[in-house]
Structure 1
Amino acid sequence: MAGAISTISEITSRFFKLFKKPHPIQVAALCYRKSTSGLEILLITSRKRKKWILPKGNPINALTNAQSAQQEAYEEAGVRGNVDEECIGIVQTTKNLGNGFRSKIDLHIYALLVTSMEENFPEKGQRKTEWLPINQAIKRYDDIQIGFLLKSWGSKKD
């Protein structure tokens, strides 16, 4: 009887996984530049918690995911540049929804080679920005999955 119950439980579990909703998608821009000291990554602070993050947001209907990430980078950090349409990685992370609630999201990350930075942009004054060598950016960023992704991506760019 115990074997039958565990088999039914396993079948039920697999059945419900078929109908599980996928996590919401957000897009992020991995903004980078090459300097005399090497590859640098741009991190920004989140507006509320002031954590160091990549520019990110929801996909924009009329744009590709890569273009949406590029637009977020402009709005949040004032950067302009060339975005790669190929996603460099997808990480599952959480988004703070406020009032102690969090939601899992699938964050699609796109590399953006920064060519210029605008003086004025929509979220100017709401966030701090900082260019860091890739190893320092990995240490500053609070998400281990994104840290691994940055390290892997950076090793291919050197």
Structure 2
Amino acid sequence: MIATKQQPIKLADGGKRSVRTQFGALCYRYHNDKLQVLLISSRGVGRWVIPKGWPMDEKTPAEASATEAFEEAGVKGKVYETCLGLYSTMREAPGDELIPCIVAIFPMKVKELLDDYPEADERSREWFTPKKAASLIDEPELAQIIRNFDPKTIL
């Protein structure tokens, strides 16, 4: 395997694609020597999800996921460029249209949890063991990524 550094992406202008890409952060910490992952509530129905969002011009996928983690969950920390896996989901677009999305997940070791962040009034957040978090996630592929997550494999 050749180690390469992810370069920032340059977004193309225009054009709808049938499948869109998003980037998500699997935020984790150790608490009392036990691994925990952070889930946040979705804004719509309040189900448990991870922070995720659209690609950002001039940011790597991992950097974009870290920005989403700050905005949606109020976390700061070290994001890794290692993609843990992909999962598929449907996202609501303007006009109530559902579009298929593939989400690439990047691990983020949380170093700081803020009380004041952009979506603090719109979401709740909670730490769970990976096993418990996986049981709360609706997307089977994401649940498997969380269940099998081992931070030692990304160092």
Q: Which category describes the TM-score, using the shorter chain as reference length?
A: 0.7 to 0.9
SS in 1 for 2:102: strand
Unaligned runs of 5+ in 1: 1-20
Which of 71, 89, 93 is equivalent to 1:93?
89
Aligned to 2:6: none
Q: Which residue number corresponds to residue 149 of structure 2?
A: 153
1:98-137 correspondence to structure 2 within 5 Å: 101-137=97-133
Number of aligned residues: 137
TM (norm. structure 1) is 0.80
> Which one has the largest radius of gyration?
1
Structure 1 runs (4+) deviating above 6 angstroms are none
Counterpart position of 2:80:
84
In structure 2, stretches of 5+ residues that fail to align are 1-16
Q: Which amino acid aligns with 1:142?
A: D
> 2:69 matched to 1:73?
yes
Residues 155, 122 of structure 1: alpha-carbon distance in 2 compared, 3 angstrom cutoff: closer
2:92 is equivalent to residue 62 of structure 1: no
TM-score for both structures, normalised by structure 2: 0.81
- Work out the percentage of aligned pairs sharing the same amino acid: 31
CA contact (8 A) 1:26 1:57 kept: yes
Higher helix share: 1
Coordinate RMSD, CA, aligned: 1.9
Structure 1 residue 151, shift from structure 2 partner: 1.7
